[in-house]
């Protein structure tokens, strides 16, 4: 036997070839290029392009003889915000090291985070711009592509108006990219701009913001360590946010906490629960009301908290009274004793937190679900303290930031909305006149009308023109960083895509948009780099903002979002000039930014955000402060996220990542807000109150807090949000500096705290320990919503047709410029249910993300999930003669009658009898058609499969048009 | 099915029953996750779960049977093989010393008789040469590390073993083919009958000096034949299980296959050592049967008297070809 | 010297597969070779547990014991490594290994499996430390850099521990005492003929 290395014989490489599949190591960029060339590119084509623009990807072993640079960025997958530490040599990303210093991930990753280096290997990335010519992909230069796109956009604008272009953005943008994209849509003159939050947590944002002020996670992943009881309902963070489980399980262990999982599916998270409650999909509100029934029945509610800080709880009591244990069990299938136990734990073993994800939100009753969840927290006094709260786990790495910056059809950046005041505020921030922005729109009315969301874009293409409340249907669609298989009713989407005059996909990967429809012309692919190849900030789910530094330069010919948008604006201007149209974008839109290398710098964009995003407190997070936080990550406490006493003075006392709201100017050193609405802290220290967004009284009842206020407040009762008028009444206007007064004067003499560009109102109120946004009650009754107090409504496609009469969905209505069907579809359930007896629900796999195009192209991830599958209960499988691992055909009620999707059966008790589950990350097969050949050569993802959304059906939340992906019906048979 | 056959074979050969894996989804699946508890419940059987990669072998979390296989390979096989091979060599030495070379009684007659035709001889040598290489390369895998490695060093030993492994895998095919030919050629002369009992009763002439009656093949040779054919079949069958890993069976089946393969093989090697000895240096006049195919008549009469009589009778009874003339007829 | 071990706390493992892709990333392990994998037992039922498994670097390693060409060696840290230049790809180590750790680059009919590959505990192979030759055959050598295996370092819930056996057993012991339950150190009995006494 050999012993140790003393017998080492170096350099025996003759057998190394047997180890096939390894990339040849130790190459610098140029050597890699010489050796590898580019897949699918002829040499002649290569010769035409200067080498410097065709940056190849390379990887290999670390050469220890050469210096290694360590660069920190943030994982581009989920919203946990794990720091990624890259080792870079010669401009090549050679290794990934654990990021021990990050208080969020403490060195760890999930499968996706541990494999992000592959993204800049880029084996399957788009390498250069392309367009479809007679159904074939053809290479082109950036300039030519942008010129053609600009020209076609202007043609659409000329013929159909600005609202006929749909600008679909991405939760994978940096904050700066998201902000720029929203601004781009505004300067184009439309509100038809949206992103993934629509299909992820739009209902959360709407529901939570309507309850207590802000649509975001109230606490943080780290803070869960303080909880004594956790309910995870409609979420599977073990697969969707694996690193969050580090905090959840640590909390569970340290506090011997109760971990209750309420879900139709026995998930990987449920495996670690102390109590698992299996419910029928689509019955969240009955479950919550069932819990509250026990809580009210036994007097477990927090009466003092309700008295001081909650409006309308009595209306909830009335509704809850209907949900006695018998009715709850009849509707949900959960026995009363189990719910009583859960209710007692949640209400009495405090602090308690409620964690939810898309199981709650992706429903026709999504907003109502979220409202019910929030009400449960309010009733038990579990908001605004450590260890409590609505711990809403967002989806993509920057879905929180992209939402905050208004990639949304209903609002401008920072939730200012679309009214005239909002437009005036942002016009001031942008340094342009309000009138000049109005001129960019079809009409002032369209400017204040919410646009058409991504869940319905294809309806806006295919519906008769008179059904779409704007000048014309959608004619063009520009997609930045978004998969085409993420939206329900894909057979309809195909029809819509085929009818578009122009489709532009700007992404690191072609995405399903590029292959789904049978388009032959007018389709462009622009290679965009990942966030690892550029710099910028991103906001994690807990509102912490983290700065990512560029690890390597964009590979191949890809560009970052900033450059792509800057040049696209220029191309539009050129096209307008050619058409003799006065319309221009670039000069005005980018005037405030520092332009370097044909792109605005991320720092300068963030500084503009800091000036304008006052309402959400995105003003204190200057690039300098964020970079300092990344540099000194190890100085932040794991549980409180606060920089410790040994931290450098410039960050000492800050919360990690300056979680918004971080009030005022960066130099004021507001520490950020770790726990929202926390009255135990001074507002200068990150304390807060519920926001006064909805007036001061309703039907004679005060909406302001009673006897509750944040620590050190000079006002010891509720108060409205601050305006110059309120300031004057309190005599505090005298404390404004001359400069601040002048600034307010310049903007017309009056301002609210959120539109006061000098931020003087915030400064003065904070000096008085007062929250500028007011101190109100949270609303258990949100009168402006379709259901002010949430009520149970059966899913549109329900197997329980016996419950439709008692719990019908909403009647048909209109919203977001489109018709919105409700009861007329639900009434079909009676005929549909007998033929489609299995409830189909969908969810996430840990290896993949979103539409999955990026992760299915990553060979380290793709190997782990090679087939699209459907989970079937053994009972249902036996009835259908289906064996584990066998191919089955799945059909949905809205699919063409002769079409099915072909997937593998996974026979498991994870799902209950009568329920099936499919992951939503697959695409590339469409109703048994293999579309691999339609991808540009060399860019097809390694793993393809049927999309669950080929099966999913109609159904939208009335408030946000969130799609219904969690409850529909299907039939399964052996293939 | 194949696994079951293997299990049956295993039960026959080494008395180990098939090992049912801890089935996913069986109703008695334990609701505990404690390794000790599960292992106790399984009584040392495979801990099997679910895995997402297509390689379902990887779903076996722990297979304690590896330990049994290791025990077999390193201890049982080494002892059985060592005792069988070295024991047989020792026995042959003793036999040689005691009996010396068995001579042709009365010396060679000078007249010969055809014992094996060309095809039989070629086939025999094909099988024989394959067997020798298979045996040596096989023994190398078990004993080479202790015997050859210290002598020639790791690199050379790996080279030898690598070639040995390749030879072992590919020569299996001609070896099996040869066995099939042997079976077809010689089965009719190898069906046991009463003569064999008498032959065995007298100890086959090896013990003492009697010359029991014998047909074309005596009972000893018939034994060799059947050991070769049946043992060869077992070795070949199990060998194919191993040379196509996971194609026919799982890890447990392969372990069993290997156990059967190696035990049968070392026993065959021991038997073949005796066969080689008696066919060459142990007996005067024997080797020609497989070289020229012609054996001395006296040798034949001595060892296969009934066959010689039969052959001679065949010669007499045979009618001469048409047109043939008796020698010296003109 | 330290006695390096792996310890998997199945009460923490959530089958996130970070260990698997971290391994792929660190060593550029090709498709089809799974030096580490995660198996879920009792899938979908109460008591479901996931276990990340790779070579456990056993005491008295069975692979080393049965290797016909004796290509295994044990480092001073008790890490079980092998020399691919000596390996003949016979597959014996796979028969003997209780954990299914040995991997082969090809399907392997006619014994053409190629050189066996397995977890190196991020300790490379017999060549000089951190050379290109070592990297190509065995992957990175983190141990030589004073780092621990990346799979354990990146484990999302810190379920997978790597390091000196005494130290990680103590971490696990404290964890079990604090939370009041523990499913045992998976594979320890089989690999190290001991278990963590609480």
Nearest residue in chain C measured CA to CA from B74? C66
Q: Does C10 touch chain B (CB under 8 A)?
A: yes
Instruction: Domain count for chain B, please give it.
Output: 2
A763 SS3 class: helix
Query: What ranges in A278-387 are assigned the alpha helix state H?
Result: 284-298, 303-309, 313-320, 325-332, 336-348, 358-361, 366-379
| Contact residues, C window 51-90, toward A, CB-based 8 Å cutoff | 64, 70-76, 83-85
Please tell me which of the candidates A22, A107, A113 has its beta carbon nearest to residue C136: A22
In this structure, the answer to whether residues B49 and B181 fall within a common structural domain is: no
Mean pLDDT across chain B, nearest whole number?
80
Chains in contact with A, where contact requires at least 3 CB pairs less than 8 Å apart: B, C
On the question of pLDDT at B19 being above 80, the answer is no
| Contact residues, C window 104-143, toward A, CB-based 8 Å cutoff | 105, 114-115, 117, 126-133, 135-137, 140
Top-tier CATH class for A202-392:
alpha beta
In this structure, the answer to whether residues B6 and B153 fall within a common structural domain is: no
Is residue C191 a contact partner of residue C3, using CB atoms and an 8 Å limit?
no
Contact B25 A864 (CB under 8 A): no
> Which is the CATH superfamily of the domain at A14-121?
ADC-like domains (2.20.25.90)
Interface test with B, best of C111, C114, C115, C116 (most B CBs within 10 A): C111
In this structure, the answer to whether residues B239 and B273 fall within a common structural domain is: yes
In a domain, B329, yes or no: no
Last residue of a domain, one of B12, B36, B63: B63
Please tell me which of the candidates C18, C117, C131 has its beta carbon nearest to residue A242: C18
Contact B52 A2 (CB under 8 A): no
In a domain, B247, yes or no: yes
Distance from CA of C136 to the nearest CA of A (A): 7
In a domain, B325, yes or no: no
Is residue B259 a contact partner of residue B72, using CB atoms and an 8 Å limit?
yes
| Contact residues, B window 114-173, toward A, CB-based 8 Å cutoff | 154
Is residue A674 a contact partner of residue A655, using CB atoms and an 8 Å limit?
yes
Residue A955 zone, left/alpha/beta (φ > 0; ψ -120 to 50; rest): left
Number of A to C CB contacts under 8 A, please give it: 207
On the question of pLDDT at A319 being above 70, the answer is yes
Reduced 3-state DSSP string for A34-70? HHHCCCCCCHHHHHCCCHHHCECCCCCCCCCCCCCEE
Contacts of A867 in chain B (CB under 8 A): 54
Chains in contact with C, where contact requires at least 3 CB pairs less than 8 Å apart: A, B
Q: Does C48 touch chain A (CB under 8 A)?
A: yes
10-residue averages of pLDDT along chain C (198 residues): 88 94 92 92 88 93 94 94 91 91 75 83 90 89 92 94 93 90 82 80
In a domain, C75, yes or no: no
CA end-to-end span of chain C, whole Å? Answer: 24
In this structure, the answer to whether residues B172 and B239 fall within a common structural domain is: yes
Model confidence band, residue A427 (pLDDT cutoffs 50, 70, 90)? very high
* Closest listed residue to residue A821, CA positions, set A852, A846, A797: A797
In a domain, B276, yes or no: yes
In this structure, the answer to whether residues B34 and B135 fall within a common structural domain is: no
In this structure, the answer to whether residues B57 and B83 fall within a common structural domain is: no
In this structure, the answer to whether residues B11 and B51 fall within a common structural domain is: yes
Could you tell me the pTM of the whole model? 0.89
Please tell me which of the candidates B31, B34, B70 has its beta carbon nearest to residue C46: B31
* Closest listed residue to residue A237, CA positions, set A288, A273, A277, A286: A273
CA distance linking residue A81 with residue A83, whole number of Å:
6
Please tell me which of the candidates A5, A15, A266 has its beta carbon nearest to residue C85: A15
- The average pLDDT across A262-277 equals 95
Please tell me which of the candidates B50, B53, B154 has its beta carbon nearest to residue A864: B53
Q: Does C16 touch chain B (CB under 8 A)?
A: no
Contacts of C88 in chain A (CB under 8 A): none
Contact C115 A19 (CB under 8 A): yes
Compute φ and ψ for B238, nearest 5 degrees.
-65, -35
CA distance linking residue A687 with residue A711, whole number of Å:
7
The least confident of A155-164, A387-396, A602-611, B201-210 is B201-210
Tokens of B38: 């599960």
Please tell me which of the candidates C69, C107, C109 has its beta carbon nearest to residue B157: C69
Nearest residue in chain A measured CA to CA from B146? A1
C18 lies in which domain range? 4-60+119-192
Contacts of B162 in chain C (CB under 8 A): 88
Chains in contact with B, where contact requires at least 3 CB pairs less than 8 Å apart: A, C
In a domain, B126, yes or no: yes
Selected residue with higher pLDDT from B259 and B102? B259
CA distance linking residue B266 with residue B146, whole number of Å:
17
Four-way CATH pick for A130-197+399-531+553-583: 3.90.1150.10, 3.30.460.80, 3.40.50.740, 2.30.30.30: 3.40.50.740
Distance from CA of A874 to the nearest CA of B (A): 9
Selected residue with higher pLDDT from B152 and A23? B152
Selected residue with higher pLDDT from B175 and B307? B175
Please tell me which of the candidates C32, C41, C68 has its beta carbon nearest to residue B141: C68
pLDDT tens digits, one per residue of A191-244: 999 999 999 999 999 999 999 999 999 999 999 999 999 999 999 999 999 999
Reduced 3-state DSSP string for A94-119? EEEECCCCCCCCCCCCCCCHHHCCHH
Distance from CA of A226 to the nearest CA of B (A): 27
Looking up tokens 């549980």 gives: A639
pLDDT tens digits, one per residue of A676-712: 999 999 999 999 999 999 989 999 999 999 999 999 9
Last residue of a domain, one of B63, B85, B103: B63
Contacts of B154 in chain A (CB under 8 A): 2
The reported pLDDT for the residue numbered B55 is 83
Model confidence band, residue B319 (pLDDT cutoffs 50, 70, 90)? low
If 0-12 CB within 10 Å is exposed, 13-18 middle and 19+ buried, where does residue A181 land? buried
Instruction: Domain count for chain C, please give it.
Output: 1
Q: Does C14 touch chain B (CB under 8 A)?
A: no
Contact B61 C53 (CB under 8 A): yes
B81 SS3 class: helix
If 0-12 CB within 10 Å is exposed, 13-18 middle and 19+ buried, where does residue B205 land? middle
What is the CATH number for B117?
1.20.950.20
Which secondary-structure segment (H or E) carries C4?
Answer: strand C4-8
Contact B53 A847 (CB under 8 A): no
Contact A115 C24 (CB under 8 A): yes
| Contact residues, C window 171-190, toward A, CB-based 8 Å cutoff | 175, 178-180
Please tell me which of the candidates B50, B52, B62 has its beta carbon nearest to residue C190: B62
In this structure, the answer to whether residues B36 and B105 fall within a common structural domain is: no
Please tell me which of the candidates A4, A16, A60 has its beta carbon nearest to residue C75: A4
In this structure, the answer to whether residues B140 and B4 fall within a common structural domain is: no
Please tell me which of the candidates C41, C67, C108 has its beta carbon nearest to residue B47: C41
Distance from CA of A832 to the nearest CA of C (A): 29
Angle at B316 between CA B310 and CA B317, to 5 degrees: 85
Contact A861 C115 (CB under 8 A): no
Q: Does A874 touch chain C (CB under 8 A)?
A: no
What is the CATH number for C188?
3.30.70.20
- The average pLDDT across A574-591 equals 95
Model confidence band, residue B43 (pLDDT cutoffs 50, 70, 90)? low
Give the distance, in angstroms, between the CA of residue B183 and the centroid of all CA atoms in the same chain: 13
Do A801-974 and A202-392 have the same topology in CATH? Answer: no
In a domain, B322, yes or no: no
Distances A518 to A132, A484, A923, C169 between C-alpha atoms, Å: 11, 14, 15, 59
Q: Does A875 touch chain B (CB under 8 A)?
A: no
pLDDT tens digits, one per residue of B250-297: 888 889 999 999 999 999 999 999 989 988 888 888 888 888 888 888
Give the distance, in angstroms, between the CA of residue A869 and the centroid of all CA atoms in the same chain: 25
Compute φ and ψ for A486, nearest 5 degrees.
-90, -10
In a domain, B330, yes or no: no
ipTM of the complex: 0.95
The packing angle between helices B232-243 and B154-186, to 10°, is 130
On the question of pLDDT at B2 being above 50, the answer is no
B176 lies in which domain range? 65-317
The rounded percent of chain A whose pLDDT value lies above 70 is 94
Contact B58 C37 (CB under 8 A): yes
Is residue B287 a contact partner of residue B104, using CB atoms and an 8 Å limit?
no
- The average pLDDT across A819-825 equals 93
> Exposure string (b/e) for A308-340, b if CB count within 10 Å is 16 or more?
bbbbbbeebbebbeebbbebbbebbbbebebbb
Q: Does C17 touch chain A (CB under 8 A)?
A: yes
For chain C, give percent helix, strand, coil, nearest 5.
Answer: 30, 15, 55
What is the DSSP secondary structure assignment for residue A659, as one 8-state letter? P
Distance from CA of A111 to the nearest CA of C (A): 4
In a domain, C77, yes or no: no
Contacts of A61 in chain C (CB under 8 A): 132, 135-136, 140
On the question of pLDDT at A772 being above 50, the answer is yes
Domain boundaries, chain A: 14-121, 130-197+399-531+553-583, 202-392, 723-769, 801-974
CA distance linking residue A253 with residue C198, whole number of Å:
16
Give the distance, in angstroms, between the CA of residue A408 and the centroid of all CA atoms in the same chain: 11
- The average pLDDT across A866-882 equals 96
Please tell me which of the candidates C128, C132, C154 has its beta carbon nearest to residue A61: C132
In a domain, B174, yes or no: yes
Contacts of C107 in chain B (CB under 8 A): 245
Distance from CA of A247 to the nearest CA of B (A): 22
CA distance linking residue A543 with residue A562, whole number of Å:
23
In a domain, C114, yes or no: no
Reduced 3-state DSSP string for A776-802? ECEECCCCCCCCCCCCCCCCCCCCCHH
Is A801-974 a CATH 3.30.420.40 domain?
Answer: no
Nearest residue in chain B measured CA to CA from C89? B162
The neighbouring-strand residues paired with C162 are C6
């Amino acid at each position: 036997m050999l012993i140790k290395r003393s017998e080492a014989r170096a350099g025996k490489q003759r057998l190394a070839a047997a180890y096939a599949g390894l990339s040849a190591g130790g190459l610098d960029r140029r050597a890699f290029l010489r050796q590898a060339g580019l897949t699918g590119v002829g040499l002649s084509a290569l010769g035409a392009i200067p080498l410097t623009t065709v940056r190849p990807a390379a990887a290999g072993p670390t050469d220890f003889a050469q210096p290694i640079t360590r660069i920190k960025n943030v994982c581009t997958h989920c919203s946990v915000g794990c720091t990624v530490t890259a080792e870079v040599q010669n401009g090549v990303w050679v290794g990934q090291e654990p990021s021990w210093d990050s208080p969020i991930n403490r060195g760890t990753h999930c499968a996706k985070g541990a494999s992000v280096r592959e993204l800049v290997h880029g084996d399957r990335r788009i390498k250069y711009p392309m367009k479809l010519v007679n159904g074939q992909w053809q290479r082109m230069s950036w300039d030519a592509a942008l010129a053609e796109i600009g020209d076609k956009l202007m043609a659409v604008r000329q013929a159909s108006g600005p609202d006929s272009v749909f600008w679909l953005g991405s939760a994978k943008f940096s904050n700066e990219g998201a902000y720029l994209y929203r601004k781009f849509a505004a300067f184009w003159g439309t509100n038809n701009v949206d992103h993934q939050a629509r299909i992820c947590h739009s209902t959360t944002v709407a529901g939570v913001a309507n309850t207590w002020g802000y649509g975001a996670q109230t606490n943080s992943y780290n803070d869960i360590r303080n909880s004594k009881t956790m309910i995870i309902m409609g979420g599977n963070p073990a697969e969707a946010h694996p690193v969050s489980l580090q905090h959840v399980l640590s909390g569970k262990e340290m506090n011997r906490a109760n971990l209750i999982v309420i879900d139709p599916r026995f998930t990987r998270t449920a495996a670690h629960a102390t109590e698992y409650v299996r419910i029928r999909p689509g019955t969240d509100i009955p479950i919550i009301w069932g819990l509250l029934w026990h809580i009210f029945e036994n007097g477990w509610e927090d009466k003092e908290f309700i008295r001081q800080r909650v409006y309308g709880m009595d209306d909830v009591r009335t509704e809850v009274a209907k949900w006695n244990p018998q009715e709850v069990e009849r509707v949900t299938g959960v026995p009363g004793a189990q719910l009583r136990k859960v209710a007692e734990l949640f209400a009495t073993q405090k602090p308690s937190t409620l964690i939810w994800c898309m199981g709650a939100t992706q429903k026709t009753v999504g907003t109502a679900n979220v409202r019910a969840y929030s009400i449960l927290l309010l009733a038990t006094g579990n908001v605004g303290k450590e260890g409590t709260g609505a711990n809403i786990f967002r989806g993509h790495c920057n879905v929180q930031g992209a939402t905050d910056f208004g990639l949304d059809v209903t609002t401008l950046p920072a939730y200012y909305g679309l009214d005239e005041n909002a437009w005036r505020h942002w016009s001031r921030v942008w340094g342009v006149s309000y009138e000049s922005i109005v001129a960019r729109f079809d009409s002032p009315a369209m400017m204040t009308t919410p646009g058409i969301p991504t869940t319905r874009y294809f309806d806006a293409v295919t519906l008769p023109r008179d059904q779409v409340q704007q000048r014309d249907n959608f004619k063009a669609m520009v997609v930045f960083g978004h998969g085409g298989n993420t939206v329900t009713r894909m057979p309809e989407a195909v029809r819509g895509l085929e009818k578009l005059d122009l489709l532009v996909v700007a992404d690191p990967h072609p995405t399903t948009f590029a292959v789904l429809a049978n388009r032959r012309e007018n389709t462009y692919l622009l290679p965009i780099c990942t966030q690892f190849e550029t710099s910028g900030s991103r906001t994690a789910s807990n509102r912490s903002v983290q700065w990512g530094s560029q690890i390597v330069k964009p590979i191949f010919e890809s560009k970052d979002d900033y450059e792509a948008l800057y040049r696209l604006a220029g191309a539009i201007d050129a096209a307008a000039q050619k058409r003799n149209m006065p319309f221009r974008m670039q000069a005005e839109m980018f005037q405030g930014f520092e332009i370097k290398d044909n792109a605005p710098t991320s720092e300068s964009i963030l500084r503009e955000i800091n000036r304008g995003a006052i309402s959400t407190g995105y003003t204190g997070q200057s690039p300098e402060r964020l970079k300092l936080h990344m540099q000194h990550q190890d100085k932040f406490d794991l549980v409180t996220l606060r920089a410790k006493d040994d931290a450098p003075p410039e960050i000492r006392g800050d919360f990690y990542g300056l979680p918004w709201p971080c009030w005022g100017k960066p130099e004021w050193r507001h520490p950020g807000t770790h726990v929202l609405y926390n009255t135990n802290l001074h507002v200068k220290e990150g304390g807060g109150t519920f926001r006064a967004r909805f007036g001061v009284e309703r039907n004679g009842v005060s909406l302001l807090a009673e006897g509750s206020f944040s620590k050190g407040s000079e006002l010891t009762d509720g108060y409205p949000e601050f305006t110059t008028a309120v300031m004057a009444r309190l005599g505090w206007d005298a404390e404004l500096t001359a400069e601040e007064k002048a600034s307010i004067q310049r903007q017309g003499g009056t301002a609210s705290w959120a539109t006061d560009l000098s931020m003087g109102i915030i400064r003065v109120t904070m000096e008085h320990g007062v929250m500028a946004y007011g101190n109100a009650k949270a609303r258990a009754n949100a009168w402006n919503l379709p259901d002010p107090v949430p009520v149970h409504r059966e899913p549109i496609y329900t197997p329980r047709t016996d419950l439709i009469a008692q719990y019908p969905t909403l009647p048909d209505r209109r919203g977001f410029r489109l018709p919105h069907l409700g009861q007329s579809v639900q009434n079909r359930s009676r005929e549909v249910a007998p033929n489609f007896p299995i409830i189909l629900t969908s969810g996430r796999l840990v290896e993949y993300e979103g539409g999955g195009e990026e992760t299915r192209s990553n060979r380290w991830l793709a190997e782990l999930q090679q087939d699209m599958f459907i989970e079937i209960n053994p009972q249902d499988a036996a009835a259908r003669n289906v064996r584990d691992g066998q191919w089955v055909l799945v059909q949905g009620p809205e699919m063409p009658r002769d079409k099915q999707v072909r997937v593998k059966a996974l026979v498991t008790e994870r799902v209950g009898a009568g329920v099936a589950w499919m992951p939503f990350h697959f695409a590339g097969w469409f109703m048994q058609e293999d579309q691999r050949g339609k991808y540009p050569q060399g860019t097809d993802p390694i793993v393809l499969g049927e999309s669950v959304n080929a099966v999913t059906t109609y159904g939208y939340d009335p408030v946000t048009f969130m799609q219904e992906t969690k409850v529909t019906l299907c039939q399964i048979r052996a293939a | 099915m194949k696994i079951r056959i293997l299990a049956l074979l295993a039960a026959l050969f080494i008395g180990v029953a098939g090992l049912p894996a801890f089935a996913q989804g069986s109703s008695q699946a334990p609701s505990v996750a404690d390794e000790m508890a599960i292992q106790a419940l399984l009584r040392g059987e495979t801990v099997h779960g679910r895995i997402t990669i297509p390689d379902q072998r990887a779903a076996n979390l722990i297979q304690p049977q590896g330990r049994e296989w290791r025990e077999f390979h390193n201890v049982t096989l080494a002892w059985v093989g060592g005792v069988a091979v070295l024991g047989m060599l020792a026995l042959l030495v003793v036999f040689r010393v005691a009996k010396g070379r068995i001579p042709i009684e009365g010396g060679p007659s000078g007249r010969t008789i055809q014992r094996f035709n060309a095809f039989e001889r070629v086939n025999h040598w094909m099988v024989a040469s394959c067997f020798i290489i298979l045996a040596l390369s096989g023994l190398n895998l078990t004993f080479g590390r202790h015997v050859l490695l210290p002598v020639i060093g790791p690199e050379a030993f790996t080279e030898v073993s690598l070639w040995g492994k390749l030879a072992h895998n590919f020569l299996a095919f001609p070896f099996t083919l040869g066995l099939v030919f042997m079976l077809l050629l010689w089965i009719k002369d190898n069906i046991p009958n009463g003569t064999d009992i008498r032959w065995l009763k007298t100890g086959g002439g090896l013990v003492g000096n009697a010359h029991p009656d014998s047909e074309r093949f005596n009972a000893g040779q018939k034994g060799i034949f059947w050991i070769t054919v049946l043992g060869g079949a077992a070795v070949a069958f199990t060998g194919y299980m191993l040379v196509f890993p996971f194609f026919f069976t799982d890890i447990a089946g392969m372990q069993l296959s290997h156990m059967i393969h190696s035990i049968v093989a070392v026993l065959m090697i021991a038997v073949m050592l005796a066969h080689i000895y008696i066919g060459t240096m142990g007996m005067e006049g024997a080797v020609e049967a497989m070289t020229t195919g012609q054996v001395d008549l006296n040798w034949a009469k001595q060892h296969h008297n009934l066959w010689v009589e039969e052959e001679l009778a065949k010669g007499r009874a045979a009618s001469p070809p048409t047109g043939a003339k008796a020698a010296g007829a003109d | 010297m330290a006695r390096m071990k792996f310890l998997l706390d199945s009460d923490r493992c959530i089958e996130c597969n970070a260990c698997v892709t971290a391994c792929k990333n660190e060593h550029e392990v090709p498709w089809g070779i799974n030096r580490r994998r995660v198996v879920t037992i009792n899938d979908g039922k109460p008591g479901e547990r996931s276990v990340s498994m790779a070579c456990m670097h056993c005491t008295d390693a069975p692979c080393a014991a049965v290797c016909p060409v004796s290509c295994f060696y044990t480092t001073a840290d008790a890490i079980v490594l092998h020399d691919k230049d000596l390996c003949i790809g016979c597959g014996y180590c796979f028969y003997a290994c209780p954990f299914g750790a040995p991997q082969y680059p090809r399907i392997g009919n006619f014994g053409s499996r190629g050189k066996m590959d397995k977890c190196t505990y991020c300790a490379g192979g017999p060549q000089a430390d951190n050379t290109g030759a070592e990297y190509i055959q065995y992957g990175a050598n983190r141990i030589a850099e004073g780092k621990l295996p990346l799979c354990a370092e990146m484990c999302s819930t810190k379920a997978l521990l790597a390091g000196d056996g005494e130290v990680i057993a103590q971490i696990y012991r404290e964890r079990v005492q604090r939370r009041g339950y523990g499913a045992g150190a998976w594979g320890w009995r089989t690999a190290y003929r001991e278990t963590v006494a609480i």
